[in-house]
């Protein structure tokens, strides 16, 4: 899927405080579409969040919907489809918010590059969707290619002659559509690399040959700078790193991206850091950086545990008003494979929650509060004793301005000795990441939580057989998705919906609600006028 004839979609650049207006026309003939502005809080504009069935109706073929929202914080963001599995089909692009006029970033750099990372299958996304919803479950397999700014290679490698693998050397002139996006640099300068991951499946690791990276931003929030040789990035995350081009200027250097957290069956994505005045076709002197072993979780944890909020960042409230524990499990429903949260697999209703809650349409979704926790005797280290789950579309109704703690609890999947990594993304808010731990969360873990300088993020990972503790303030009226950012997992039910303060909202644009029960209601109202 392209936008304005481009893939990835055009980069949108704005300044903090700007109002961004996007007119989105759906030229797909047979499916609806929405666009989510990932990491933008949508404070006061929840109908512009771009989540089908939650904040708006899908935009029908031939129709135009206008997104109008304020970007209140400088940072590295992106946008993507949030209907069906359209993100996996290529519906994404970068969204960069610079500091407002007269303000400076808290670090110096001479130039910048945007890197949007994604994974690519050669079979259509509909083929994958059908497989996920089949009995027995059919898995499309790992992606064929990793893309950097929509570009990658297949059946050949830029670095073939360094390895004894069977792949052939890519013979590229640079003008081809699959030729890598080269990073042209001058020696002895500082460059900012803005890195965002919109992968459908893969957790990634990025490294640059011979160059250390200093991490300065995570998900649009400044962090205490720290230096690394390589960086783990999960789907839904973004980082800014600074690199100094202080290596031998007669050489070029590899930038490599490889798969983590799953057994990699996808070759590395590669491009070149091209030092001026070398030719971009001059290959680096040594082979690309080797991606750490896919299951070296200690490596991943050591990176994650280095991320702290920069001095002067907002601190979390000392105490929470409500704690919701979310158990992540893989289950069966009438023979179909699902993902579930506290044994409820999410199925979205035809009427967007934003409209049904605002207009008090109690038949639009299940009014019962979803479960706040799971049974104390559940063994997270073993496959479920009873693998059966239920579906549901209930909403966690949050008190306006209350402090909410989320404990994400990972567990064993259906197969023995399997626990997958899940990056969880929250719409409409940033949260403080208070800590990570092993096994089942218990009261003794509370003492380990970091209330001093926890990082603010919008996406956080739960490691295999572990837990992650998050805290946020429910201060943004709207209906908000909180879900695993792995596209097939969300499709299979791995998410929940939070709602707060919807009664405080004034006019919700009618075109956002022109489907389902709200659509019927608006038609009746308009006929009477």
392-405, pLDDT tens digit by residue?
999 999 999 999 99
Q: Residue 174: which pLDDT band, with cuts at 50, 70 and 90?
A: confident
Q: What is the DSSP string of 124-144?
A: -HHHHHHHHTSSS-----S-S
- Note whether 37 and 67 are within 8 A (CB): yes
Above 90 in pLDDT, residue 340? yes
Give the span between the Cα atoms of 289 and 273, in whole angstroms: 13
Contact status, residue 19 vs residue 70, Cβ threshold 8 Å = yes
Instruction: Categorize the per-residue pLDDT at 507 as very low, low, confident or very high, splitting at 50, 70 and 90.
Output: confident
pLDDT of residue 164: 67
Dihedral of the alpha carbons of 173, 175, 176, 179, in degrees to the nearest 10: 70
The pLDDT value recorded for residue 527 is 56
C-alpha–C-alpha distance, residues 463 and 479, integer Å: 27
Q: Within its chain, how far is the Cα of 385 from the centroid?
A: 31
Q: Say if residue 232's pLDDT is above 50.
A: yes
Task: Say yes or no: do domains 1-104 and 106-311 share a fold.
Answer: yes
Q: What is the pTM of this model?
A: 0.96
Tell me which residue has tokens 């893989």. Answer: 330
pLDDT score of 281 more than 50 = yes
CATH number, domain 322-512:
2.60.40.420
Give 4-36 pLDDT, tens digit per residue: 999 999 999 999 999 999 999 999 999 999 999
**315-331 as b/e, with b when 16 or more CB fall inside 10 Å?**
ebeeebeeebbbbbbbb
pLDDT digits 0-9 by tens, 49-106: 999 999 999 999 999 999 999 999 999 999 999 999 999 999 999 999 999 999 999 9
Quickly name the fold that domain 1-104 has.
Answer: Immunoglobulin-like (2.60.40)
Distance, in Å, from the CA atom of 347 to the CA atom of 274, rounded to the nearest integer, reads 48
Whole-angstrom distance, CA of residue 36 vs CA of residue 79:
6
Closest CA to 238 of 208, 258, 218: 218
Of residues 343 and 524, which shows the higher confidence score? Answer: 343
Domain ranges for the chain: 1-104, 106-311, 322-512
347 vs 22, 317, 476, CA distance in Å?
29, 33, 24
Fold of 106-311: Immunoglobulin-like (2.60.40)
Instruction: Work out the average pLDDT over 158-168.
Output: 81
Buried b (16+ CB within 10 A) or exposed e, 113-128: bbbbbbbbbeeebeeb
Beta strands 390-392; 344-346: pairing state: parallel
């Amino acid at each position: 899927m392209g936008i304005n004839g481009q893939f990835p979609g055009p980069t949108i650049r704005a300044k903090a405080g700007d109002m961004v207006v996007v007119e989105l026309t759906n030229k797909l003939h047979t499916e609806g579409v929405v666009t989510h502005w990932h990491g933008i809080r949508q404070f006061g504009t929840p109908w512009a969040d771009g989540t089908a069935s939650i904040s708006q109706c899908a935009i029908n073929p031939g129709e135009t919907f206008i997104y109008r929202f304020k970007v209140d914080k400088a940072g590295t963001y992106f946008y993507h489809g949030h209907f069906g599995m359209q993100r996996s089909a290529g519906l994404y692009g970068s969204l960069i918010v610079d500091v407002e006029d007269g303000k400076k970033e808290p670090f110096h750099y001479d130039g910048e590059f945007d890197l949007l990372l994604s994974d690519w299958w050669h079979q259509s996304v509909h083929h994958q969707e059908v497989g996920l919803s089949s009995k027995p479950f059919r898995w499309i397999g790992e992606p064929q290619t990793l893309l950097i700014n929509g570009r990658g290679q297949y059946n050949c490698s830029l670095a073939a002659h360094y390895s004894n693998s069977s792949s052939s050397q890519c013979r590229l002139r640079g003008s081809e559509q699959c030729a890598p996006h080269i990073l042209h640099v001058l020696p002895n300068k500082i460059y900012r690399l803005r890195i965002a991951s919109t992968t459908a499946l893969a957790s990634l690791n990025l490294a640059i040959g011979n160059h250390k990276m200093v991490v300065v931003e995570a998900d649009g929030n400044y962090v205490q700078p720290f230096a690394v040789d390589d960086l783990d990035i999960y789907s839904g995350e973004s980082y800014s790193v600074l690199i100094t081009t202080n290596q031998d200027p007669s050489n070029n250097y590899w930038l490599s991206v490889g798969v983590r957290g799953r057994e990699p069956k996808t070759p590395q994505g590669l491009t070149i850091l091209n030092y001026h005045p070398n030719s971009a076709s001059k290959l680096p002197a040594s082979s690309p950086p080797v991606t750490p072993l896919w299951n070296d979780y200690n490596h991943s944890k050591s990176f994650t545990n280095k991320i702290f909020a920069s001095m002067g960042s907002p601190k979390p409230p000392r105490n929470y008003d409500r704690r919701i524990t979310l158990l992540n499990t893989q289950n069966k429903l009438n023979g179909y494979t699902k993902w579930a949260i506290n044994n409820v697999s999410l199925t979205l209703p035809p009427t967007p929650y934003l409209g049904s809650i605002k207009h008090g349409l109690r038949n639009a979704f299940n009014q019962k509060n979803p479960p706040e926790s799971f049974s104390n005797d559940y063994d997270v280290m073993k496959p479920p004793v009873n693998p059966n789950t239920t579906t549901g579309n209930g909403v966690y109704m949050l008190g306006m301005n209350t402090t909410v703690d989320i404990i994400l609890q990972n567990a064993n999947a259906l197969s023995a000795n399997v626990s997958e990594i899940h990056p969880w993304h929250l719409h409409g808010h940033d949260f403080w990441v208070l800590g990570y731990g092993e096994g089942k969360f218990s009261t003794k873990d509370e003492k380990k939580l970091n209330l001093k300088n926890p990082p603010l993020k919008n996406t956080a990972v739960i490691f295999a057989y572990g837990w992650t503790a998050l805290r946020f303030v429910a201060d943004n009226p709207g209906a908000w998705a909180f879900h695993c950012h792995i596209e097939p997992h969300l499709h299979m039910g791995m998410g929940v919906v939070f709602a707060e303060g919807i009664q405080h909202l004034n006019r919700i644009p009618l075109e956002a609600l022109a489907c389902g029960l709200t659509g019927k209601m608006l038609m009746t109202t308009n006929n009477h006028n």
